[in-house]
Amino acid sequence: MASRSVTTLTNAGFFKAVLTDDLEVWDAFVEGSGGHILQCGGWGELKAQFGWSVKRVMVWAKDKPVAGAQVLLRRTPLGQLAYVPRGPVVDFGNDSLVRVLLAKVHEEARLAGAFMLKVEPNLRYSPPLAALGFRPSSQTVQPATTIVVDLNLDLKTLSSLQKPKTRYNIGLAARRGVVVRPGTAEDLVPFYRAMETTSKRDGFGIHSFDYYRSALELLGDKAQLFVAEFAGELLGGIVVTCLAGEAIYMYGASSDAHRNLMPNHLLQWEAMKWAKARGCSTYDFWGVPDEVGATPENESDSDRSGAPRQDGLWGVYRFKRGFGGTLVRFAGAFDHVYSPVRYLIWRRFLPLVRKRGIGG
């Protein structure tokens, strides 16, 4: 890929920032640096099939990559939106390196006609982005708060940390004949039917069938579909990713059949055991209500009458917290504005834009 480069001389030597289309080198860098699955090449290729374009900026020091950002670009009525999900992959404590990387990212975003750049670092603390022209944004794309299970613990300890009802339901599913196994291409159609059922039942949007099929193909051995069956009938399924020691529960679906057999509990437990066997040290449940993360000291899933809340992600939260784990809140989103007028319009009309399928 032909590209301009940014080269900076620092006290530590030369940093050279360039674009790259070498996915093998890129993925080796992301995984070796502890990067997030949303920064891997397969994720960028997936988004490129569904309305986005991709630029991968890599910073080299001599013959070694030391920082990178997978930048997604999507056309909106206001121009291109540039977005770095769960990135960039960089040591934010190295100011010179961060500045070289972001200078190249800004250059490429502006050349593409972007009116803003949004980044959501894979950090639990706020990096020093204000000094680099970024502003905090309440408009996040990825989950701001989640529950993470420590897979470094042995299975007996992991089980003991689960809520008694969760542990009971896992055993109930197994005793009553629910079988969990790795999914195959033949399972994608019934899995998607279950996704449609879940979407209608719980009131959330889903992607197309081709999106999930492409996700599994492009992520390759970084993702695994698991299905739960009873008497040969698919009751549910989940997709779990694994990269750089981190497993993430990305997608889930359940049919309306035999819900009393608790297949979803066994699905998660088997996925955790798979991730642990793969060498993952954490299992991310990928999102709970951010109210919990914002004010953990006031955590409550009950309404004013004392009844369990059913709105939003609260039912999902009760299910996820049953597996134990620790509440984690990420640094959030940060915006760098190239066109103040278009950015103002974007913020004002974002709800409408999202309804038209542009912001997702």
pLDDT score at 301: 58
pLDDT score at 299: 58
pLDDT score at 296: 67
Contacts of 212 (CB under 8 A, 6+ apart): 188, 191, 192, 195, 239, 251
Round to whole Å and give the CA distance between 169 and 263: 8
Task: Sketch out the chain's domains with CATH numbers.
Answer: 6-142+330-355 (3.40.630.30), 145-329 (3.40.630.30)
pLDDT score at 297: 57
pLDDT score at 292: 86
pLDDT score at 202: 87
pLDDT score at 305: 52
DSSP state of 38: G
pLDDT score at 2: 43
Q: Phi and psi (nearest 5°) for 89?
A: -90, 100
pLDDT score at 294: 82
Round to whole Å and give the CA distance between 337 and 115: 6
Buried-exposed string 1-18: b where 16+ CB fall within 10 A, e elsewhere: eeeeebebeeeeeebbbb
Residues of the chain where predicted confidence (pLDDT) is lower than 50: 1-2, 9, 11-12, 303, 355-360
